[in-house]
Amino acid sequence: MTHSISSIRSGLLRKEFSAEEFTRLALEHAEKENPKTNAYLTFSAVRAMKAAEAVDKKIAAGEDPGALAGVPVAVKDVIVTKGLRTTCGSRLLEHYVPPYDATAVIRLEAAGGILIGKTNCDEFAMGSSNENSAYGPVRNPVALDRVPGGSSGGSAAVVAQRTAVLSLGSDTGGSVRQPASFCGVAGVTPTYGRVSRYGLTAFASSLDHIGPFARTTRDAAALLQVIAGRDEMDATSAAAPVPDYVSGLTGDVRGLKIGLPREYFLGLESATGDRIHAAVETLKKLGCEVRDISLPHTQYAIAAYYIIATAEASANLARYDGVRYTTRSAAAGTLSEMYRETRDEGFGAECKRRIMLGTYVLSAGYYDAYYIKAQKVRALIARDYAEAFQSVDVIVAPVSPFPAFKIGEKVDDPVAMYLSDIYTITGDLAGIPCMSVPCGVTPEGLPVGLQILARHFDEGTMFRVADAFERAAG
């Protein structure tokens, strides 16, 4: 499926095919290809065909079918969907069917998008490789013996595998950008508050974002434009106006100032570093002015992030107790046994590890020593970016120190796994928009992503740079 938003829309309007025909083929293709990658957990054929029928009726009536008319979209399984199983990659929610839709899902379907399925992910979005899913790991479609990245590995994989044109993931510490880099697609983490979190299963509430995947910057920008904006159901969503991102993609970036943070170029594998430096040279040829900058508190980001994120996770995951919508342990005899046995059987090792870490840092005697200090470091990281953006328009950097690693390579070393997010975590801590755009492959043929970071709510400039680079790099 090599289609884009514009090619599908034009094909529908020229009556080359109907939305129902296209959706039926998309579902057949996705179901046929899925065993290779295990990227989908649930398909939504009935819902998809009903949405396609609605698109065809609008076209027949001469009405605008929507910005995403007939476009097959997949959604990460931590984003709730009414009447459609939402597992969060966990045995605890194996049979959970939500009674409502996330705001992002409502908006993409209102724009004519066709939800064809829910994608596999690390359990409750906790992971960097998509090996923590209770339903088995996702395989990278570029190299099936390697991880697709996490936690939104399934959403990146379906776009790379071309079983969906667009997808939605969630990003807490890099879970959109890192999989996008590993799979060779575009992935966007919007400004915190730009997209409503209503219906996104909470991991770390002050860090969680919903973000789009696409094969091109243009399509990613179009999807973000559809799902962004204030939502009365989410008090943290911003009232900032949503610009027309697509119309700003002119290819002209002359005069823009690009910052290169020296801290992000330490410890890079040469194959990755070579691709990043080549991308910087391309931006120079496009007329950008490149400046060396420093983000001095980057070295503390991993520690701060894993204190804040695990603290918030320990509170958010307390709701999975066997009382309400979770699977309940059959071994439970008393109330306390129900809590203990349900969580012991339902949570995987990584979730348990993060709950324990978070409970520890929030406990009496450690709250000030760890959690408060981590929040202070977070403020310093945000200040680093604010100061940097006084002299540059965007910042470019690697997404990961290395390309996709082999399945099982880091699963027994949590610290090494956590360090794979070292270049993406700071953007989430600061709440700024950032994205990954493909910038080449290693000699082994593994994709490498270029990370672009911008000021709060300045996704437009970020998209301009990414789109111009795409055009120049082919």
- Residue 116: pLDDT band by 50, 70, 90 thresholds? very high
What average pLDDT does this structure show over 381-388?
98
Look up the domain containing 107 and give its range.
5-248
Is residue 223 one of the residues assigned to a domain?
Answer: yes
Which residue in the list 90, 128, 129, 151 is annotated as catalytic?
Answer: 151
- Residue 2: pLDDT band by 50, 70, 90 thresholds? confident
User: DSSP alpha helices (H): ranges in 317-433?
Assistant: 335-346, 349-362, 373-388, 414-419, 425-430
Domain count, the chain: 1
Q: What is the pLDDT of residues 291-329, one digit of tens each?
A: 999 999 999 999 999 999 999 999 999 999 988 878 889
How far, in Å, CA of 163 to CA of 356, rounded?
A: 38
Predicted pLDDT at 299: 94
Tokens of 274: 């070579």
pTM here?
0.96
Helix (H) or strand (E) holding 7: helix 5-13
151 is catalytic: yes
Is residue 64 one of the residues assigned to a domain?
Answer: yes
- Residue 419: pLDDT band by 50, 70, 90 thresholds? confident
How far, in Å, CA of 74 to CA of 192, rounded?
A: 22
User: DSSP alpha helices (H): ranges in 300-348?
Assistant: 301-316, 335-346
Q: In 14-47, which positions are buried (b, 16+ CB within 10 angstroms) versus exposed (e)?
A: eeeebbbebbeebbebbeebbeebbbbbbbbeeb
- Residue 364: pLDDT band by 50, 70, 90 thresholds? confident
Taken as a whole, the chain contains a residue count of 474
Q: What is the pLDDT of residues 232-274, one digit of tens each?
A: 999 999 999 999 999 999 999 999 999 999 999 987 888 899 9
Which residue in the list 44, 175, 237, 314 is annotated as catalytic?
Answer: 175
- Contact call for residues 170 and 202 (beta carbons, < 8 A): no
Q: What is the pLDDT of residues 117-171, one digit of tens each?
A: 999 999 999 999 999 999 999 999 999 999 999 999 999 999 999 999 999 999 9
Predicted pLDDT at 440: 96
Q: Backbone phi, then psi, for 292, in 5-degree steps?
A: -80, 135
Distances (CA, A) of 442 to 7, 18, 403, 437: 30, 40, 8, 15
How far, in Å, CA of 350 to CA of 48, rounded?
A: 33
Say which amino acid occupies 351. Answer: C
How far, in Å, CA of 399 to CA of 397, rounded?
A: 7
Pair type for strands 40-43 and 114-119: antiparallel
Is residue 269 one of the residues assigned to a domain?
Answer: no
The alpha carbon of 265 is separated from its chain's Cα centroid by a whole number of angstroms, namely 23
Predicted pLDDT at 148: 98
129 bridge partner residues: none
Q: What is the pLDDT of residues 11-58, one digit of tens each?
A: 999 999 999 999 999 999 999 999 999 999 999 999 999 999 999 999
Largest CA distance in the chain: 69
Helix (H) or strand (E) holding 450: strand 447-454
How far, in Å, CA of 466 to CA of 450, rounded?
A: 9
Is residue 230 one of the residues assigned to a domain?
Answer: yes
- Sequence-separated (6 or more) residues with CB below 8 Å from residue 435: 177, 180, 186, 187, 188, 189, 217, 220, 451, 452, 462, 463, 466
Predicted pLDDT at 1: 58
Is residue 95 one of the residues assigned to a domain?
Answer: yes
How far, in Å, CA of 131 to CA of 269, rounded?
A: 23
Is residue 264 one of the residues assigned to a domain?
Answer: no
Is residue 383 one of the residues assigned to a domain?
Answer: no
Q: Backbone phi, then psi, for 109, in 5-degree steps?
A: -75, -35
Which residue in the list 76, 90, 237, 410 is annotated as catalytic?
Answer: 76
Is residue 10 one of the residues assigned to a domain?
Answer: yes
DSSP state of 389: T
76 is catalytic: yes
- Sequence-separated (6 or more) residues with CB below 8 Å from residue 75: 81, 105, 115, 117, 118, 119, 155, 167, 168
User: Any idea what the CATH number is for the domain that residue 217 is in?
Assistant: 3.90.1300.10
Q: What is the pLDDT of residues 462-474, one digit of tens each?
A: 999 999 999 999 8
- Residue 181: pLDDT band by 50, 70, 90 thresholds? very high
Beta strands in 127-243 (DSSP E): 166-171, 186-189, 209-214
Predicted pLDDT at 326: 83
> In the chain, pLDDT over 90 holds for what percent of residues?
92
Residues 195, 198, 199: CA angle, nearest 5 degrees: 115
Beta strands in 220-305 (DSSP E): 257-261, 289-293
